[in-house]
């Protein structure tokens, strides 16, 4: 029985970005090239090569010299988690807070690297909650109220319409 406890495998923001880019570029079984990653992340190829070496050492991707890149199962799992964090944040910023898509996207791209699993989970639940109540069809009334509040800065919705007929 090996007593070497594996290190917790934390990735830097940069490393998560590379992994996510490869994951998204790969799509369903597609082939990923250094070139594509460089383009997607707007960095030069040597930067990608360095990152690739890094992630390969961590067992998250495989790479044969002068060949193509692919994610290991472990890499896919982690990349999917990053994407999920991104999605949840984007939804919250855009759908709930009403941040425009472009800004929501940028914020999500940065913030996704830093929220804890618990916060992510709760945010996920929150969005689920928003989408389900009172029905999947329309936003809950309180969200409409919030939007009004954002727009007008006024608090007269509740005062006037206190007991709402749902």
Q: Can you tell me the distance from the alpha carbon of 124 to that of 104, in angstroms, rounded to the nearest whole number?
A: 16
Collapse the DSSP code of 39 into the 3-class scheme (helix H, G, I; strand E, B; otherwise coil) and give the result: helix
Window contacting DNA (CB under 7 A); options: 12-20, 70-78, 107-115, 129-137: 12-20
In the region spanning residues 53 to 72, those forming contacts with DNA, defined by CB under 7 A, are 54, 63, 65-68
Q: According to the binding rule CB under 7 A, does residue 147 interact with DNA?
A: no
Q: Using CB distances below 5 to 8 A depending on partner kind, what does residue 76 bind out of a copy of itself, DNA, none? A: none
Q: According to the binding rule CB under 7 A, does residue 45 interact with DNA?
A: yes
Would you put residue 73 in left (φ > 0), alpha (ψ -120 to 50) or beta?
Answer: alpha
Of 53, 97, 79, nearest in space to 89 by CA:
97
What are the structure tokens assigned to 74, written together?
Answer: 């472990």
Q: According to the binding rule CB under 7 A, does residue 49 interact with DNA?
A: yes
**Site residues (vs DNA, CB under 7 A):** 12-15, 17, 33-35, 42-47, 49-52, 54, 63, 65-68
């Amino acid at each position: 029985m090996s007593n070497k406890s594996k290190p917790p495998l934390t990735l830097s923001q940069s490393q998560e970005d590379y992994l996510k880019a490869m994951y998204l570029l790969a799509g369903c079984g597609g082939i990923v090239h250094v070139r594509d990653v460089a383009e997607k992340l707007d960095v030069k190829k040597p930067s990608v090569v360095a990152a690739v070496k890094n992630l390969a050492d961590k067992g998250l991707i495989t790479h044969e010299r002068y060949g193509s890149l692919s994610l290991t199962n472990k890499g896919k799992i982690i990349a999917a988690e990053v994407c999920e964090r991104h999605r949840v944040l984007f939804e919250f910023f855009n759908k709930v807070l009403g941040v425009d898509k472009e800004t929501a996207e940028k914020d999500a791209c940065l913030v996704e690297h830093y929220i804890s699993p618990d916060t992510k989970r709760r945010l996920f639940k929150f969005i689920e909650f928003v989408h389900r109540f009172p029905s999947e069809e329309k936003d809950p009334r309180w969200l409409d109220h919030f939007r009004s509040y954002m727009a007008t800065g006024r608090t007269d919705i509740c005062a006037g319409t206190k007991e709402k007929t749902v």
